[in-house]
Each structure stands twice: as C-alpha cells, then as structure tokens.
Amino acid sequence: MVVRIDKILAANGLGSRKDIRRLLRKEDFRINGTRVTDAGTLLDPEHDALSRNGETLHLRTCCYLMLNKPAGVVTSTADPLHSTVMELLPPPFSAMELFPIGRLDLDTEGLLIITNDGALTHRLTAPKSACIKSYYLETAEPFTENAFTAARIACAEGLPLGKNFTCLPATFERTTSQRVKTEWAFLMHICEGKYHQVKKMVKALGNEVVYLKRIAMGDVTLDPQLPAGSCRELTPDEISILTSHN
C-alpha cells in the first residue's frame, strides 16, 4: 500500500503533519537511500526502506487502541468545554493523528476503539455494518418478571422510538452485578448506534438508565484488567476480528 511519508510518520508518533514537514526539512530522511524533503513523497512501507539520520525506521501503517473511557470526558478530538478522550492517550499515541470509532455519551463508560484506519471506521459505523455493540446497564427501578419479559420481546421485535424510528432487533437480558441488586442490572446488545439509543430504548420500556458502560464491539471485549482512563494496543487477534468484519 502506497502512502504519503507525512501520513505514515504521523501514524508512527513522530508528530503532527506540520511537525513532520519541519522535520523533513531539518533532518536527513531517506527512502531507499534517496534524501526526502517533500511531505507528499509516496512510499510503500512493505517494500521501501526508510531511514532517519542513518537509522532504519520500522513503520506501521495503522494504529489500533482500546481505551476504557471514563465518565466525564467527551468522545471527540477537540472540545472547548470538556476534556476529550484524546487527552487520555500517552506518548507516543498522543502525537499521532488518531480518532475514535463512533461515540460514547459524556456520562457513558467503557470500550472505545481509537485508530487512524479510516476504512475500518467507515466499515464499523456504516448503517449497514450490523456490528453488535454490547452494553452493561443499571436501571433506576427493577423490572418485574412480567415487565422484563415484555421488554425482552419488544426489543427482539424492534422497539419503536417515536413516530419515525423503529430500532432494529436487539437483545435485552438480565445479568449479575457487584454494584446493585441483580434485578436492576442488564445487558443490551444492539447493532445500531443512534444518539442516546440505549437510554431511549430503556425509557420507552418504562424505566431509566442510571449507569451505562459499553463492554464489547463485535467479538472484541473490554479488557477487564484495563483501568478506566487507560488504553492499550489491540492484539493481532483483536485487530483481525475488527478488520475482517463485513
């Protein structure tokens, strides 16, 4: 795959595109032994040799991170009012031109994938992607057994939200919790990502979400050992799962 040198250097944590234009003028970057100063120069990282001041650079074209988003930060690359998820990334990831796949609400916690792979982002967020997102949630009130049965059936059939939108079939199930009584803790599996969708679905079922955490995207689950506010690189298996999603 042929890419611009400024793009791939940014993807490897050498700075922003602006920083890299400056580096290319000041330092000795060479592709297959030929000096490069133009940020638009193309190279194939699988076949071309790139060096910086005489040292070979081992490049990757894309970066994939798992972030355990805490409440209180926005899923954005920049925001004038709140801290963003990008501010949680440590070096060298903080210097890369990365972005989140999809969004989580300000008060929602959990799994967020951060990358610079635009094709993957489009594939996982496209309306027809059918990538299952799984959420753990707690409600303001318990569901009686009859109410829960009705709610589960309504979700499975496609829950109407207002006059103009009906959710695609979703799964609603009970789960155990260490935080609250078991009858107040649930899992919701949806294949869409509409604005406040899980909260709106629970409200349509006659209850209210008081805690929400995304725990999986497809078959990639949130690492239970990853503290809130921390990130790690995806494993090769996790990357393969996401990139093979159709």
Query: E strands, the chain, where?
Result: 3-4, 29-31, 34-36, 42-43, 50-52, 55-56, 64-69, 99-100, 109-115, 133-139, 171-174, 185-190, 209-217, 220-221, 231-233
Q: What residue ranges of the chain are covered by domains with CATH 3.10.290.10? A: 3-56
Q: What percent of the chain has pLDDT over 70?
A: 100
Q: Which residue's entry shows tokens 């799984």?
A: 134
Catalytic residues: 105
Q: Which residue's entry shows tokens 């795959």?
A: 1
pLDDT of residue 175: 94
**Is the domain 64-127+220-244 a CATH 3.30.70.580 member?**
yes
Q: Which residue's entry shows tokens 């789960």?
A: 175
Q: What residue ranges of the chain are covered by domains with CATH 3.30.70.1560? A: 133-217
Q: What is the pTM of this model?
A: 0.83
State how far the alpha carbon of 44 is from the alpha carbons of 41, 47, 100, 121, in Å. 10, 6, 26, 22
246: pLDDT confidence band, cut at 50, 70 and 90? Answer: low
Fold classified for 3-56: 3.10.290
What are the pLDDT digits (tens) for 186-224? 999 999 888 899 999 999 999 999 999 999 999 999 999
Q: What residue ranges of the chain are covered by domains with CATH 3.30.70.580? A: 64-127+220-244
8: pLDDT confidence band, cut at 50, 70 and 90? Answer: confident
CATH superfamily of 133-217: Alpha-L RNA-binding motif (3.30.70.1560)
